[in-house]
Amino acid sequence: MRLSAFGKKFSGNSGILQLMEDLGNALAGPGDMIMMGGGNPAHIPEVEAAMKKRLCAIVDSPSETRRMIGIYDPPQGEKAFIAELACLLNRRFDWHLKPENIALTNGSQSAFFLLFNMFAGPDAEGGQKKILLPLAPEYIGYADVGLVPDFFTALKPRIEFLRRPFFKYRVDFQHLTLSPDIAALCVSRPTNPTGNVLTDGEILTLDGLAKEAGIPLILDSAYGTPFPDIIFTEAQPFWNENIILCMSLSKLGLPAARTGIVIAREDVIQTLSRMNAVMNLATGSFGAMMALDMVRTGEILSLSQSVVKPYYRERAAQAVALFEKALTGTDYFIHKPEGAIFLWLWFRNLPISSQTLYERLKARGVLVVPGHHFFPGIQDAAWPHCQECIRVTYGQAPSLVEKGIGIIGEEVRRAYEENGSGL
């Protein structure tokens, strides 16, 4: 089969393909694999009960059932959901949104593909624009969405050592420059994969730099505020007309609904909607209809704050304690868990690559994500840090997480012992 350049690029190997194949096969398989790699949210009973109640109400209403499965939405997305979301965010944060400021996409990944290629890539003057990631490591799903090579550039972080075993990545503003070829900034908050939460001050500084350069700041809040609000530190929601805020219903508990939310200036939303029409005709209605009542009443915020956030905070603390026991004596660090549903582990001077560690763990029935996939745009290929980290999720049943962490500890210890170091 003779493929185009597009066909070759998007059918080749990628980190996100490996992640989703592992995730899908593990969750659909016989259940003997401990899934500690993917971003599938935990099955929280209170959230599932709320979703079941809403689904039953839709099924009992012929008109709502028809809206959910039998009618195309406009390319911008389900109109009632968008209108209620604008009202909710205006009530809580005084953002002065109109429905024209919001569009839905078939998942956040689709939103990033459209937004990134909307701004970056070849331009009308024959140059090429890039997306700048001011803090790497960053989300694995960004890495392969560009239509052309050399699509991203990224800044290495400052590493701040905290009370052992914790550390934290900081934006290195001293070395952050916005050259003319930068089309947009993009950060996730909380950061996927590390659970880092950029401070309000860091976000304001990035927003100011972007405004000064005349480019947007794309703020990925798939795990963040205002919902699902999986943030364990102080963080204010941000939006203005220079910020493109990307949200999702997945981590609230609707990953299969594939509902991304984009809040932006009207001309950005109009362009995104036109692209939606070409790519998808329309967005799916399922997620928007499932969440409609919760948005109308504000329950989506209270459920996030009183159920989802505390659940993951407790699970993060449990996982940290287990890792501290399992990795005792090795040269390990854990990024301070400030949000999201992951722990980011750094094994300093690890004698094997993160890919080799991933393969050894997979052979023993534990799936993680090797860290080198999370550094798109880093120009320093020799930086060993990229090969010394893994991302793990702690969302599965506590007994499985404990078993998986024990196996991770054994394999990390084995790697250091083979080289006679780290113990």
Reply yes or no on whether the pLDDT at 29 is more than 60: no
Domain presence at residue 167 = yes
Final residue in a domain of this structure, among 238, 273, 302: 302
**Are 78 and 288 a contacting pair, CB within 8 Å?**
yes
Q: Do 82 and 181 reside in the same domain of the chain?
A: yes
292 in a structural domain = yes
Tell me whether residue 420 is in a domain.
no
Looking at the fold, whether 54 and 39 belong to one and the same domain comes out as no
Nearest alpha-carbon partner for 158 in 187, 134, 188, 193: 134
Q: What is the pLDDT of residue 4?
A: 76
285 part of a folded domain: yes
CA dist 388 → 86, 152, 336, 350, 354 (Å)? 43, 22, 17, 6, 6
Q: Is residue 29 part of a domain?
A: yes
- Asked whether the predicted pLDDT for residue 422 surpasses 70, the reply is no
Half-sphere exposure of 349 (CA within 13 A, CB side): 10
In this structure, the answer to whether residues 257 and 129 fall within a common structural domain is yes
Phi, psi for 345 (deg, rounded to 5): -105, 135
Kindly state whether residue 128 falls inside one of the protein's structural domains: yes
pLDDT digits (tens, 9 = 90+) for 216-234: 999 999 999 999 999 999 9
pLDDT digits 0-9 by tens, 243-277: 999 999 999 999 999 999 999 999 999 999 999 99
Q: Do 71 and 37 share a structural domain? A: no
pLDDT at 124: 81
* Same domain as 265, residue 177: yes
Q: In the numeric block, which tokens belong to residue 115?
A: 């937004």
Read off the pLDDT of residues 32-66 as tens digits, 9 standing for 90 and up.
Answer: 789 998 788 999 999 999 999 999 999 999 999 99
Rounded to whole angstroms, the Cα distance separating 318 from 311 reads 11
Q: Which of 236, 269, 302 delimits the end of a domain? A: 302
Same domain, yes or no, for 31 and 54? no
pLDDT, one tens digit per residue, over 102-112 is 999 999 999 99
Let me know whether 298 and 314 are in one domain.
no
Taking the model in full, what pTM does it have?
A: 0.93
The chain-wide mean pLDDT, for the chain, equals: 92
CATH of the domain at 107: 3.40.640.10
Q: Residue 30: which pLDDT band, with cuts at 50, 70 and 90? A: low
Question: Which residues are CB-neighbours of 250 under 8 A, at least 6 positions away?
Answer: 39, 41, 107, 108, 222, 257, 258, 259
What CATH number is attached to the domain comprising 322?
3.90.1150.10
Q: Please indicate, yes or no, whether residues 332 and 288 belong to a single structural domain of this protein.
A: no
Count Cβ atoms below 10 Å from residue 93 Cβ, excluding itself.
Answer: 15
- DSSP secondary structure, 300-323, as one string: HHHHIIIIIHHHHHHHHHHHHHHH
Instruction: Please state the domain count of the chain.
Output: 2
Within this chain, do residues 37 and 130 fall inside the same structural domain, yes or no? no
Shared domain check, 347 and 298: no
Domain end position, chosen among 255, 277, 302: 302
Beta strands at 260-263 and 243-248: parallel, antiparallel or unpaired:
antiparallel
Q: Looking at the domain assignment, is residue 422 inside a domain?
A: no
Same domain, yes or no, for 282 and 367? no
Range of the domain at 218: 48-302
Q: What gap in Å lies between CA 200 and CA 7, rounded to an integer?
A: 41
Q: Decide if 421 is inside a domain.
A: no
Residue 105 exposure: Cα atoms within 13 Å on the Cβ side:
28
Assess whether 205 and 141 both reside in one domain. Answer: yes
In single-letter form, the type of residue at position 97 comes to: L
Q: What is the pLDDT of residues 292-350, one digit of tens each?
A: 999 999 999 999 999 999 999 999 999 999 999 999 989 999 999 999 999 999 999 99
